[in-house]
Amino acid sequence: FWKLSGREAMSESFALTLTLLGTDARIDRSRLLGQPVTVTIPTQSLLTPRYINGKVTRVAVSAVELTGTRYAVYQLTVEPDLWPMKRDRNLRIFQGQTVPQIVKTLLGEHQVNLEDKLTGSYRVWDYCVQYQESSLDFISRLMELEGIAYYFSHEADKHTLVLTDAATQHQPFSGYEVIPYHQTPSGGSTDEEGISQWALEDSVTPGIYSLDDYDFRKPNAWLFQAQQNPASPKPGSIDVYDWPGRFVETGHAEFYARIRQERWQVEHQQIQATATAAGIAPGH
């Protein structure tokens, strides 16, 4: 093992680069593709290491010289079991199902381990189409529409996709309920796990989100809904209006307006930080 780099985020399929050193550059790269791999990262809580588990989806081989010794460098791209869903494309119709049901169907077909932490109730779609898009793009846009997020929980021999729709469902990584802040003169890090830099950011976001639609069976029905963003410094100075809203019931309109407004509210204030705490991970 030499290096591990990459990106993890809520509602994203992670892609990590695992760099290994070896003395044999003749290993068959094709035999590594699709193989499971787990990286074990020691943490300040020695009883609870952090695992990163996934499948190898790309292998690159090069060479490097370190302290006078020449090594073969293997760079493995590690992705979750979602990786086939990023690369396919399909046209498909789902009828009489909720978004969670559609998502679970597709994840099950691709043998993705799933944990359902959803607490809300979701509308039944009479007709829902996957149209010339990857399976991951399809379920991602459906979950974004309904306000559903996901992250990955890693274990020594597997990883699980966790569906969630409420911030109260997120729990700290074991041993990281409190993370110390280490202020250094240069803003650098220390040998002890912790946070070395912390900055609050405020951004201008839309003040009002509104949406509307039309029900041909009830042409006089009033379906317009609007939600104000309390975090906006000047509510009403920036408006976002969507049509069609893809609903014909007032209850659905209220739900979608609230979900979109919450999105802008979250983007209004964010925190940028630099840390060396291995327990900081999406979903925790």
What pLDDT sits at residue 80?
97
- Comparing 64-68, 81-85, 94-98, the range with the smallest average pLDDT is 64-68
Structure tokens given for 89: 């494309």
Domain at 3-80, CATH from 2.30.110.50, 2.40.50.140, 3.20.20.140, 1.20.1080.10? 2.30.110.50
Which pair of tokens denotes residue 143? 């979950």
Residue 214 has pLDDT above 60, yes or no: yes
In the chain, % of residues over pLDDT 90: 49
Tens digit of each residue's pLDDT (9 = 90 or more) over 30-42: 999 999 999 999 8
Q: What is the overall mean pLDDT for the chain? A: 88
Domain ranges of the chain: 3-80, 84-169, 179-284
Residue 235 has pLDDT above 60, yes or no: no
Q: How confident is the model at residue 154 (pLDDT cuts 50, 70, 90)?
A: very high
Top mean pLDDT of 43-52, 68-77, 155-164 is at 155-164
pLDDT given at position 190 = 64
pLDDT above 70 covers a percentage of the chain that reads 95
Q: Looking at residues 206-221, what average pLDDT do you find?
A: 83
Taking residues 188-206, report their average pLDDT: 80
Is the pLDDT at 166 greater than 70? The verdict is: yes
Average pLDDT over residues 258-265: 82
Residue 216 Rama label (left phi>0; alpha psi -120 to 50; beta): alpha
| pLDDT at residue number 222 | 81
Query: Band of the pLDDT at 187, cuts 50, 70, 90?
Result: low
pLDDT for res 113: 97
**Long-range own/partner contacts, residues 163-168 (CB < 8 A, 24 or more apart):** 163/100, 163/103, 163/114, 163/115, 163/116, 163/117, 163/118, 164/117, 164/118, 164/283, 165/117, 165/118, 165/119, 165/120, 166/119, 166/120
Architecture of the structural domain at 84-169? 3-Layer(bab) Sandwich (3.55)
The helix or strand, by DSSP H or E, that contains position 116, with its residue range, turns out to be strand 114-116
How is residue 79 written in tokens?
Answer: 């992705």
Give 107's DSSP letter.
H
What lies within 8 Å, CB to CB, of 141 at 6+ separation is none
pLDDT tens string 71-82 = 899 999 999 999
Compute how many other C-beta atoms are within 10 angstroms of the C-beta atom of residue 4. 14
